[in-house]
Amino acid sequence: MTFMDSISACFSKYITFSGRARRSEFWWFILFLIVGGMIAGAADAALFGSNVIMLAGMEFSYNAGYFANIFSLATFLPAWAVEVRRLHDTGRSGWWLLLWLIPVIGFIILLVWMIGKGTEGDNDYGSDPVA
């Protein structure tokens, strides 16, 4: 699956939480999210600059983030759906995404599962997307 095929597949399955997603679909879409977030953040910084606030005697700088917020809202559901479908490909329920609530350990466990190869052949969540 190519970069553009992955983006197309994830947006065409905008809120499809059933089925399976191969590794290439998931990781190309994650790359799209990272690059898109960086571009949106750069556009925010270029157009709106940054705001500075004083809090407890310290100076903090932040962006208003209009483009980044719009990008995040537009891609939240497809990202969530492809994560669930990726877990389905490894034979796990989408409820395992709740591991994100465990600060470091949850991220590591989910990362290992997302990197791992999916189950070969059919499983409880559908047919093999590679076949």
Reported as a single tens digit per residue, the pLDDT across 33-69 is 999 998 998 888 888 877 777 777 777 766 668 899 9
Q: What is the mean pLDDT of the chain?
A: 89
- How far from 47 is each of 2, 40, 50, 98, CA to CA, in Å? 32, 11, 9, 36
* Count of other CB atoms within 10 angstroms of residue 81: 21
- What pLDDT score was predicted for residue 64? 67
Reported as a single tens digit per residue, the pLDDT across 63-114 is 668 899 999 999 999 999 999 999 999 999 999 999 999 999 999 999 999 9
The span from the CA of 49 to the CA of 58, in Å, is 19
**What would the mean pLDDT of 10-27 be, rounded to a whole number?**
92
* Count of other CB atoms within 10 angstroms of residue 15: 8
Confidence of residue 4 (pLDDT cuts 50, 70, 90): very high
- How far from 83 is each of 37, 48, 52, 60, 97, CA to CA, in Å? 18, 32, 36, 33, 8
Domain residue limits, the chain: 3-115
